[in-house]
Structure 1
């Protein structure tokens, strides 16, 4: 069976969608990803704009404003669903692993 596009998200994808729960532009998205992940994840412009294009064409985000070269985006309902599914998947993985992580 073929996998649905964005069925699982990479860490940068997950954090970009989290950042877009509020409208923001590319520079702000990069800052928010770093803040949300407490500096663990950093997204460069090449990765960011590639993913924004893919997310937009897949209906996970939408462009909200254009001011010169500055473009702002926000997550869509479909994007929230994808983000929520990924959150549940990650949470489930952690819960399932707890009984095996006795040394923590």
Structure 2
């Protein structure tokens, strides 16, 4: 899914599942009282029968047919690593549009 520092994972996630996961947690920070929690659709993948493609495709709002096929490679952004077909700029553009 994604690997980075705790600060990166909490405040600037790249992978869509990490983004949703962090959005589903209550944050006690000042100014976050009005923050709306995000729901994550679906159920976690069955690790006894790992699906082909992205393991989180059934829980992602950006999934395409390509996400459900083959092996998804790692992407590197500095010291961070995430596994997704989409590059960081594409994902962050989608996130920005969601918040409007």
TM-score of the superposed pair, with normalisation by structure 1 = 0.27
Q: Which has the higher helix share?
A: 1
Q: Which has the higher strand share?
A: 1
Structure of higher CA gyration radius: 1
